[in-house]
Structure 1
Amino acid sequence: MELKRKVLAYITSGEGSERKLLVFENKEHPEEGWQVPGGTIEKDELLLDALYREIEEETGINRDELVLKGKVTKNKHFPRNRELVYERNIFHLAYTGKEQPPWEHHVHSDGKDNGATYCNRWIPIDSLPKLASKQDEAIEFI
């Protein structure tokens, strides 16, 4: 069985009933569904370095605009079959910047997402659509 280590970021803005979660969809492939920032931890990369790298690559939000609230959970996800398993480390972060209307972010990286355009937006947590690949399975813990 092949194990791939992943990070996912639940980034929230606002308080109480006004709290929102940052989600995005791939402009060129909307069929992939709504997602939260995240991705694969590279070889010899620290967990938190991977978390902040993925957030910046997919949203343009930098580390200085975020407060780490804690690790929500760690779980396993089988994306295609039992021969591949993703170990997902899910974190909650609070956004401290000024909330912006929906925006597009163009990815510049060495990874497979290079050149992709992600459409980011804040959605009230109580109105969240179903997220791709069961990325919403730990929302209740934030």
Structure 2
Amino acid sequence: MNMFGSGRTVADVAVDITVECVDQNGQRHEIDTVLGYRRTDPYAVSMTFVTGDGSLVWTFGRDLLSRGTLAPNGDGDVAVFPGIDGHGRAVVNIELSSPDGHLLLEARAESVAEFISRTTEVVPEGHESEHLDVDQLIAELLAS
């Protein structure tokens, strides 16, 4: 699932990383990014791209990111799969797709692993439902 937004969200875990964007011509561009996780949204992680024009936020499943570090995972808007960069370093590839375009990102595997580890310290895998406020979720849905 993807969600666009502006600004940063308050996160229990926030890790600044630089990802490499690979454009259609194979050119690489570095993008400052913040991986975020909130206990109040325990199934999701956010990826905030920090640009001169503001921030762009994508939100998708923590499980998708975690599983994608080991083997290809996901289809549709977000796909995650392990790889090796041109310098022989382990990376996590994150493919984002929307009606507006397609983006392939490479993040250092150790940075992603550190982020996932920190999220599981906040909410262990398998215990997400204990942190989900269903009443709040229903109230937000009805207010929309």
TM over 0.5: no
* TM-score, normalised with respect to structure 2: 0.31
Work out which structure has the larger RCO, using CA pairs closer than 8 Å and 6 or more positions apart in sequence: 1
* TM-score, normalised with respect to structure 1: 0.32
- Rg larger in 1 or in 2? 2
